[in-house]
Structure 1
Amino acid sequence: MEIRFQSSPAETKTMDTARLRQEYLIDTLFQEGKIELVYTHVDRLIVGSAVPTKEPLFLPTDKKVIGVDYFLERREIGVLNIGPKGIVTVDGTDYELDTKECLYIGKGNKEVWFKSADPANPARFYLLSTTAHASYPTVKVTADQAEPTHLGSIENSNERTIYKYIHAKGAQSCQLVMGLTELKPGNMWNTMPSHVHNRRSEVYLYFNVKDDAVVFHMMGEPTETRHIVVRNEQAVISPTWSIHSGVGTSNYSFIWGMGGENIDYGDMDPVVTTDLR
């Protein structure tokens, strides 16, 4: 399991492009036949992926990193499939996940396996895990069951729909909040005006980014902004003090996930565009 340490705002504003990418960009996800996991000291989130091909993949435990006998002994995890149909097996119970379906798995489950319905056309499971002090039931959420919120306008190039899967009014969790956002064709901006939330950290996983397209992910303190160029199926870690917004060369989708002090989706501190530097 790769480990990322936390960088301060003062340190971050001195970084060049290569160092910013090394600290905040995760570009090793979705390798066929493998589980990839990155542990970040930013709210102790674990970001990962599973792409099972010929053989099922078992969610491993790195005891040296997380100090437990099994992965979910003191954690919870959200699994969102962005590929073809797959199966997640939790302590012997199978859950089929089609494209854009999500599974919340609570603290205390000992064995988690990932399998593709068609190994030649594998599922692409995105994983996000937070620490947990309470147990909640394992729950599957389909795309139709996710709570939609329509925002933006074509005039501002940010017409989009936010789908909430794991949140206070959906799948219950201890600390994890998770969903996805889809921009409509002709729209490029997300989360602008931007915000920070000093009580929670966030991770963005960009997907449905065309091969010849990129997304410029905006980050940093509101008065010390930076950008990271992101391509398809790459993730960016966003600490509490950083804005998190993006603009693409065409429309795209992204999974957002948060962990921290609460599970209130609306808990954020807005930053007006006139204050950005």
Structure 2
Amino acid sequence: MERRFASHPNEVKQFDTERLRKEFHIPVIFAPDELKLVLTHEDRMIVGGANPVKEEVALTTDLKELGVTYFLERRELGIINVGGKGSVVVDGTEYEVDFKECLYVGQGSKDVVFKSADASKPAKFYLNSAPAHQSYPTTKTTLADSESGAMGGLENSNERTIHRFIHTNGVQSAQLVMGMTQLKPGSMWNTMPAHTHPRRMEAYFYFDLPDDSVVFHLMGEPDETRHIVMHNEQAVISPSWSIHSGVGTHNYTFIWSMAGDNKRYDDMDPVSMKELQ
């Protein structure tokens, strides 16, 4: 498991492109028959992926890094499949998780194994894990089950649908909040006008993006913005003090996840367009 440290905004102002990407960009989420994990000290979130192809992939890591005897002893886990049909086995119970379906796994679950239904079209399980103080039931949810809402408009190139999976009014968790935003054809902007939420960090995972397209992910303090170029199936860490927005050369889908002091989706500090620099 790779470790990333938290950064102060005054320090980030001095970063060049290489350093910015090293600290916040996660270029590889999926590798065949491997578990890829990045632990950030921003609210101790873990971002990663499991890509079972010819073999099953178990949720495990260097437990000394987490100070526990098994992965979810003091953690919870959110899973969204962005690949072919697959399943997740949690303590002997198997849950089918299809494309763009979500599974929440509660604190105290000891054995978690990822499987693909077809090796020629393997599942790709995107993972977010946050520390947990309470155990909630393992629960599956789908796009149809999610709390969804349309936002934006084509005139501003940001017509999109937001699906909330793990949140206060949906699948219950200790602190993890997780969902998905799908941009419609002709729309490229997300989360603009921008905002921050100093009480919670956030991570974005971009997918459904053609190989010859990119997303320019915007971050930084409102008056000191930076950008990171994102390709398909890559993730980025957003500190609580940073805006998190982006614009693509094509429409796309992204998964957002948060951890911190509360689970209120609407807990954000708006940033006006005039403040951005």
Partner of 1:216: 216
Is there any run of 5+ residues in structure 2 with no aligned partner, and where? none
Matched residue SS, 2:206: strand
> Contact 1:104/1:166 (CA < 8 Å) preserved in 2?
yes
Is 1:156 matched with 2:168?
A: no
> Contact 1:222/1:242 (CA < 8 Å) preserved in 2?
yes
Q: CA deviation at 1:54?
A: 1.1
Partner of 1:140: 140
Partner of 2:23: 23
Partner of 2:170: 170
Alignment deviations for residues 193-229 of structure 1 (CA, whole Å, 9 cap, x no partner): 0000000000000001111100000000000000000
Alignment deviations for residues 166-216 of structure 1 (CA, whole Å, 9 cap, x no partner): 001110000000000000000000000000000000000000111110000
Q: CA deviation at 1:89?
A: 0.3
Question: What is the letter of the counterpart of residue 12 of structure 2?
Answer: T
Pairs within 5 Å for 1:24-173:
24-173=24-173
Distance 1:55 1:217 in 2: 34
Partner of 2:9: 9
Structure 1 segments, 4+ long, off by >4 Å, are none
Distance 1:52 1:133 in 2: 30
Distance 2:63 2:128 in 1: 18
Q: CA deviation at 1:119?
A: 1.6
Partner of 1:241: 241
Distance 2:63 2:114 in 1: 20
Q: Could you tell me the TM-score, scaled by structure 1's length?
A: 0.99
> Contact 1:202/1:240 (CA < 8 Å) preserved in 2?
yes
Pairs within 5 Å for 1:183-198:
183-198=183-198
Distance 1:234 1:60 in 2: 21
Alignment deviations for residues 225-259 of structure 1 (CA, whole Å, 9 cap, x no partner): 00000000000000000000000001001000000
Question: What is the letter of the counterpart of residue 112 of structure 1?
Answer: V
User: Identity rate of aligned residues, in percent?
Assistant: 61
> Contact 1:61/1:69 (CA < 8 Å) preserved in 2?
no
Distance 2:217 2:96 in 1: 32
Question: What is the letter of the counterpart of residue 114 of structure 1?
Answer: F
Q: Could you tell me the TM-score, scaled by structure 2's length?
A: 0.99
Alignment deviations for residues 115-162 of structure 1 (CA, whole Å, 9 cap, x no partner): 001122100000000000000000000121011110000000000000
Distance 2:185 2:135 in 1: 40
Is there any run of 5+ residues in structure 1 with no aligned partner, and where? none
* Alpha-carbon RMSD: 0.6
Question: What is the letter of the counterpart of residue 41 of structure 1?
Answer: H
Q: What is the number of equivalent residue pairs in this alignment?
A: 277
Q: CA deviation at 1:61?
A: 3.1
Distance 2:142 2:154 in 1: 27
